[in-house]
Amino acid sequence: MKIGVIGAGYFGKNHVREYFNAKHDVTVCDLKQENLDAVKEKHKVNTTTDLNELLNDTEIKAVSICTQNSTHFEIAKKCLEKGKHVLLEKPMTLDSKQAFELVELAEKNKLVLSVGHIFRYNNGLIKLKELIDTGELGEIFLARLVWTNLNEPFTDNRDIYFDLGPHALDIIYFILGKLPNEVSCRGIPSRTNASQDETAFINCKAGNTLINIDVSWVTPEKKRTVFVVGSEKSALIDCMTQQITLINNSDMTEKNVFVQASNPLIEEINSFVKAVENNHKTVSDGKIGAEIVHLIDLCHKSVKEQKTISF
């Protein structure tokens, strides 16, 4: 298939690599010639610095959008208006009204709109969801997510809720099959040169399940873990290795659950291409992306008003 990748910075280069390896005909668009030169050195792809050139190429059926968050809405809208199927990186937009507008536009134009919620393609989390759905863990009492690493303070005004929040919040949505109905959030720009919150505790409730998410750019330890405590068993998953430890609550014995790790980006891209070919939704559909952006709006509201938001 003829595919466009818009934005070939740090993460866009990964999209280019996977489409290229899957033998698609790839056109890459970036404002910076040096990024285009870098992808051209590695893969046989077409390149342009002019977004309109890509948009006006009617043979390009589908695009990945991997530009900075603040540009997602405008670029995705243009692509959908031009009849392109879209895989839009997370966070879908920085405003939930705009996110739902994109969902409507895709529906109206009968186009696939998928979001880069890559953890829905992580075999460890898929297995965890299965353990929850089959009742192996019992009633789910709590979930604790640690999503931390050390980063320099960002200069482009992005905050921790929009940067690390989408993955952690969507994992909750994915494994529990429901969105939280209550959120209470506390965050701070820890370092003096940080303009936005760069470490936060997001507390939520989804039905009777209590959730605590620790997101941080100031913690010198890269962690991507989910610990789910059920009435019968508990499960700890390292989302980077995709390995699960299952703990029997009654005697605290532990066992490893075998998981064949997936390459989530390859799975995400293949699922998008299949959805385009067969005209169906992906498991990381645009509506899910919009719901998560709405949840992040509520996190911001909770921080600003220093209160619990129920909805």
Ligand X SMILES: NC(=O)c1ccc[n+]([C@@H]2O[C@H](COP(=O)([O-])OP(=O)(O)OC[C@H]3O[C@@H](n4cnc5c(N)ncnc54)[C@H](O)[C@@H]3O)[C@@H](O)[C@H]2O)c1
Q: Which one, 8 or 105, has the nearer CB to ligand X? A: 8
172 lies in the binding site for ligand X (CB under 6 A): no
158: tokens are: 């992005």
Closest approach, Cβ 128 to ligand X, in A, equals 18
Nearest residue (CB) to ligand X, 6 versus 211: 6
Q: Which stretch binds ligand X (CB under 6 A): 38-46, 68-76, 132-140, 240-248?
A: 68-76
Is the bond into 180 cis (omega within 30 degrees of 0)?
Answer: no
Q: Report the C-alpha gap between 227 and 247 in whole angstroms.
A: 11
Q: What residue number has its CB nearest to ligand X?
A: 9
Among 67, 96, 122, 302, binds ligand X (CB under 6 A): 67
Q: CA 253: distance to chain centroid?
A: 33
Q: How near is the Cβ of 195 to ligand X at its closest, in Å? A: 17
Stretch that binds ligand X, among 24-32, 180-188, 269-277, 288-296 (CB under 6 A): 24-32
Using CB under 6 A as the binding rule, whether residue 262 contacts ligand X is answered as no
Query: CA–CA distance from 54 to each of 47, 76, 184 (Å)?
Result: 9, 13, 43
Give me the helix-helix angle, 286-305 and 96-108, nearest 10°.
170
3-state secondary structure of 194: coil
Select the residue interacting with ligand X from 46, 71, 212, 225 (CB under 6 A). 71
89 binds ligand X (CB under 6 A): yes
Query: Residue 263 or residue 308: which is nearer to ligand X going by CB?
Result: 263
Phi, psi of 147 (to 5 degrees): -130, 80
Please give the Cα distance from 289 to 267 (Å, whole number): 18
Q: Which of 55, 99, 103, 116 binds ligand X (CB under 6 A)?
A: 116
What tokens appear for 160 in the block?
A: 């921790």
Alpha-carbon span 239 to 228, nearest angstrom: 13
Among 99, 118, 235, 246, binds ligand X (CB under 6 A): 118
Task: Report the C-alpha gap between 150 and 280 in whole angstroms.
Answer: 39
Q: How far is the CB of 266 from ligand X (least distance, A)?
A: 13
Question: Should residue 39 be labelled a site residue for ligand X when binding is judged by CB under 6 A?
Answer: no
Instruction: Find the binding residues for ligand X in span 204-233 (CB under 6 A).
Output: none
Count of residues near ligand X by CB under 6 A: 23
| Structural Rg of the chain based on CA atoms | 20
Q: How far apart (Å, rounded) are the C-alpha atoms in residues 275 and 115?
A: 13
Nearer to ligand X, 241 or 308 (CB): 241
Instruction: Tell whether residue 142 is a contact of ligand X (CB under 6 A).
Output: no
Strand partners, 184: 203
Position 114 contacts ligand X (CB under 6 A): no
Toward ligand X, which CB reaches closer, 93 or 209? Answer: 93
Dihedral through CA 295, CA 300, CA 304, CA 309, nearest 10?
A: 10
DSSP state of 85: E
- Determine which residue in the list 51, 142, 210, 257 makes contact with ligand X, applying CB under 6 A: 51
Binding site for ligand X (CB under 6 A): 6-12, 29-32, 35, 51, 66-69, 71, 75, 89-90, 116, 118
